[in-house]
Structure 1
Amino acid sequence: MSETRTYADDRQPLDRNWLHKQVRHLRLWRRFFTQALVRETHYRAHFVTTLLVGLVQLGLGIVPILLLFGFTQEVHGWSRPEVITLVGVYQIITGLMAVFIAPNLQRMTSYITEGELDGVLLRPVSGQFYLTFRWINVAELSNVASGIVVLVIGLVQSGVTPNVPQILQALVLAACGLVLLATVWSALSFLAFWLQSVGPIAFIYLNLMEAGRYPLVFFPVAVRAFLTFAFPVAFATTFPAQALAGDGGWTRVAGGIALSAVAVTLVRMLWRRGVRSYASASS
């Protein structure tokens, strides 16, 4: 009985310490976001420019779909409104990536080659957390907003009214897709510990993201497997769109959660190995 109490007493400080650390990281991220908002108020023209560029990119993404469905009503079981819904989901996901992930991971090479990582590792916070979430591009939220508009238009045109379970499935799948895409990009960026420069790899990543504009079924079987497990953009775009249309399922949601957990664990291991092999840029 005393051994049980001792074990419980040993666990409680550890649990409280872990919870305190997570709260501290959350407060730190909130400060990052506040600073980003302040910066954005000083550069209003940047917000307008980002909005215009995002609208142009959105239009360029929709035009091929309109051309394709100008000759047919359905392609591999997907109608034009359903694909427009998918484009809306894609715009939301890429917008969120541009807001929270891209501004950080695109700096990974400079962190290592210019010695900035030295200062990051000395901070009393997780270095991986700091490198992944320090910078926020608030202006890109305009692309998230335009994506929501396109998503609603697609749902209205298709005559679909998702119920609560379908919306919940779509949200969880989209969250899993965000986590998976972020972990893939993080893993590629952390290769800078050994390659010094990962700019070309990031370019390939961004081009692969374009596949998310189209339903998974549009691609050959081998490519579908790649876009589901190796570069899991399907969890971020196709699967949430299908869930909203009632063609999802909790099994797929469970698979997305499990795959996300594995991906986060592997990226964490890669980060720790990279830090162990890191030599200061000044040494």
Structure 2
Amino acid sequence: MSTHAEERQPLDRTWVHKQWRHVRLWRRFLGQAVVRETHYRAHFLTTLLVGLVQLGLGIVPTLLLFGFTQQVHGWSRAEVIALVGVFQIVTGLMATFVAPNLNRMTAYLTEGELDGVLLRPVSSQFYLTLRWINVAELTNVASGIAVLVIGLVQSGIRPGAGQVLQAVVLVGCGLVLLTAVWSAMSFLAFWLQSVGPIGVVFLSLVEAGRYPLVFFPLAVRTFLTFAFPVAFATTFPVRAMAGDLGWGPVALGIGLAVVATLLVRLLWRRGLLTYSSASS
């Protein structure tokens, strides 16, 4: 009787159970990362100082540009400072949760580490994308929030609850989209063996998110919205908080994030079909 009852369990319950297992596993990863960070306090302070220097270097061009004018393409200095804050938050989150993993992709494939991952009773893509966490990079997220608040106050923007929700959802979509793009580029290691230079190209392209989308020519704007969608992570959230966006771009961002996730999943499976154990 019990066997038949188990067979009749809905598939969605099994799916939810598996996803919850991944959540619990990720919480364990986070706990291990915090413990590691307590043993290397100098690393925490170094990351904080480097992040503050990078943030300052990101604001300097804005101050120089607006030293000669009050607005550029409808953006004030304070609004661009808020944008720099959002950029710092996004890059800080990626440096915390994404970069430590995707930067290891070449090693996973060429040194045989993927063999052990494939034997684990969890999604191999989940494990390789979210296993390692660099807690110290959260200091950059905190400094980004501070800069964002300063920029909003100076610009006189007072976003309502709906506008804040739009901005948060857009940042989430932007993070998913950028992670999907970086993952797709990293998964090319199945065919190229080494993707170190590709990671450098990705980080260079992300730098475009420091500036409003309208600062670029039309062709570049299209590229930064659909091909390399950094606009969803930086420009669009600030515009949403300013009340200049409706729910249309939010829905577009959600749709693109779902499609990108599915495509990356297909690419990962296709890569696994071509993978031959590095230890064999």
Amino acid at match of 1:282: S
Contiguous gaps of at least 5 residues in structure 1: 1-8
The residue that corresponds to 1:97 in the other structure is 94
Do structure 1's residue 198 and structure 2's residue 224 form an aligned pair?
no
SS in 2 for 1:257: helix
The residue that corresponds to 1:240 in the other structure is 237
Q: Please list, as runs of the form range in 1=range in 2, the aligned pairs for 1:96-245 lying within 5 A after superposition.
A: 96-245=93-242
| 1:13 CA drift (Å) | 3.0
Once residues 122 and 189 of structure 1 are traced to their aligned partners in structure 2, the CA distance between those partners, rounded to angstroms, is 21
SS in 2 for 1:265: helix
Q: CA offsets, 1:130-150, max 9 Å, x none? A: 000000000000000000000
| 1:15 CA drift (Å) | 1.0
Once residues 156 and 7 of structure 2 are traced to their aligned partners in structure 1, the CA distance between those partners, rounded to angstroms, is 57
Do structure 1's residue 76 and structure 2's residue 90 form an aligned pair?
no
| 1:272 CA drift (Å) | 0.3
Once residues 247 and 8 of structure 2 are traced to their aligned partners in structure 1, the CA distance between those partners, rounded to angstroms, is 34
Contiguous gaps of at least 5 residues in structure 2: 1-5
Once residues 9 and 87 of structure 2 are traced to their aligned partners in structure 1, the CA distance between those partners, rounded to angstroms, is 43
Q: CA RMSD in A?
A: 1.0
Amino acid at match of 1:80: R
Once residues 129 and 93 of structure 1 are traced to their aligned partners in structure 2, the CA distance between those partners, rounded to angstroms, is 20
TM-score calculated relative to the size of structure 1? 0.96
SS in 1 for 2:10: helix
The residue that corresponds to 2:3 in the other structure is none
Q: CA offsets, 1:170-227, max 9 Å, x none? A: 0000000000000000000000000000000100000000000000000000000000
Q: 10-19 vs 96-105, which deviates more?
A: 10-19
Amino acid at match of 1:266: L
Once residues 7 and 226 of structure 2 are traced to their aligned partners in structure 1, the CA distance between those partners, rounded to angstroms, is 40
Q: CA offsets, 1:45-79, max 9 Å, x none? A: 00000000000000000000000000000000000
Once residues 11 and 236 of structure 1 are traced to their aligned partners in structure 2, the CA distance between those partners, rounded to angstroms, is 43
Q: How many residues are matched? A: 275
| 1:10 CA drift (Å) | 7.1
The residue that corresponds to 1:4 in the other structure is none
The residue that corresponds to 2:269 in the other structure is 272
Once residues 261 and 151 of structure 2 are traced to their aligned partners in structure 1, the CA distance between those partners, rounded to angstroms, is 32
Amino acid at match of 2:104: R
Match among 31, 51, 54 for residue 54 of structure 1: 51
The residue that corresponds to 1:5 in the other structure is none
| 1:12 CA drift (Å) | 4.1
Once residues 28 and 140 of structure 2 are traced to their aligned partners in structure 1, the CA distance between those partners, rounded to angstroms, is 23
Q: CA offsets, 1:27-50, max 9 Å, x none? A: 000000000000000000000000
Amino acid at match of 2:214: V
Once residues 168 and 17 of structure 1 are traced to their aligned partners in structure 2, the CA distance between those partners, rounded to angstroms, is 31
Match among 11, 16, 19 for residue 13 of structure 2: 16
Q: CA offsets, 1:95-151, max 9 Å, x none? A: 000000000000000000000000000100000000000000000000000000000
Match among 256, 261, 272 for residue 258 of structure 2: 261
Amino acid at match of 1:131: L
